[in-house]
Amino acid sequence: MENTVFSLLPPVVAIVLAIATRRVLLSLGLGILTAAVLLAEFQFVKTIQIILETIKNVFVSGGGLNTWNVYILLFLFVLGIITAFITISGGSRAFGEWAMKRVKTRAGAQLVTGILGLLIFIDDYFNALAVGQVSRPITDRKKVSRAKLAYLIDSTSAPICVLSPVSSWGAYIISILGAIIASHQIEGMSAISMFVQMIPMNFYAIAAIIFVFMVISKNINYGPMKKHEERAATTGVLLDPLKAAPGELKEDLPVSSKGKVGDLVWPIVVLFAGTITAMFITGYSAS
């Protein structure tokens, strides 16, 4: 089944199921199972062995700890903790109150979301977590649908991280370019200079960001998002009342009433400084 058209089946299964069921983990799991079945040539025992071996390789590689994957998992775990602490400290609430005194329109609430999406460029996952947590009270107050909020966050988080050399994705791409330069013995060009020269050619990321601000300024809504926006603007209902909100927290975190805007800003500043410093240190030690 390898190197044939059937190799397209796992991603197709995952994508189709994600669209049909809106259950991402189930869809990805079935996509993984489909890939394992194809690799095992429909043998049940071999399919289980392939899945278990793959899971083991996430944590163990070459007889030792797979630090690359483990550090990524720990990094994501820490990002989730920071986001929760920002909420508990009252930083998100304080920023929301500060912004709501200054944001007067629906377009303004969306613009705040778009700008924050560009400013928090260190990691796309943290971008989505932080911007969503901070922007939601503002967009909710101005009757912006959650579907529109999700679009604004998704179309700024990953694109800006891919374009930035000092981001998790930028560092990863630069490491790949470094390996290419070494293997092909390219002279007169460094990995980071190659990355910077590639930025204007990253058409999708640039177009996605530009289109976000076009959508905000022209109030463009299309597809299902248009239906959600019309309902939110006319009735104030931000979510489809017939469907559960995916990813909605079952229990609200305790929020301090003494929070300040600095409780939001300083943890993010420290995260930026620490991450960028670590990138330079690891890059220098590997050179």
What whole-number distance in Å separates Cα of residue 161 and Cα of residue 125? 10
The DSSP code sequence of 114-144 is HHHHHH--S-HHHHHHHHHHHHHHHHHHTT-
Q: What is the mean pLDDT of the chain?
A: 86
Residue 241's φ and ψ, nearest 5 degrees, are -65, -15
Between 44-59 and 67-88, two packed helices, what is the crossing angle to 10 degrees?
70
CA 228 to chain centre: 22
**Per-residue model confidence (pLDDT) at position 102:** 87
Look at residue 252 and tell me whether its pLDDT is greater than 70. no
Band (1; pLDDT cuts 50, 70, 90): low
What whole-number distance in Å separates Cα of residue 33 and Cα of residue 23? 16
For 111-134, the pLDDT digits (tens) are: 999 999 998 888 888 888 888 888
For 39-95, the pLDDT digits (tens) are: 998 899 999 999 999 888 888 877 788 777 788 788 878 888 888 888 888 888 888
For 195-223, the pLDDT digits (tens) are: 999 999 999 999 999 999 999 999 989 88
> 28-32, 72-76, 153-157 — which is least confidently predicted?
72-76
Which tokens is 195 given? 């990355």
Look at residue 2 and tell me whether its pLDDT is greater than 70. no
Residues in the chain: 287
Contact present, 98 and 106 (Cβ < 8 Å): no
CA-based torsion, 126, 132, 137, 138: positive or negative:
positive
Band (246; pLDDT cuts 50, 70, 90): low
**Per-residue model confidence (pLDDT) at position 188:** 81
Which tokens is 173 given? 């791409």
**Per-residue model confidence (pLDDT) at position 4:** 79
Look at residue 101 and tell me whether its pLDDT is greater than 60. yes
The four Cα atoms 9, 11, 13, 15 give a dihedral, to 10 degrees, of -150
**Per-residue model confidence (pLDDT) at position 29:** 93
- 260: CB partners within 8 A, 6+ apart: 90, 91, 94
- 23: CB partners within 8 A, 6+ apart: 17
Contact present, 122 and 139 (Cβ < 8 Å): no
**Per-residue model confidence (pLDDT) at position 247:** 55
CA-CA distances (angstroms) from residue 259 to 85, 95, 147, 269? 11, 9, 28, 17
pTM of the model: 0.75
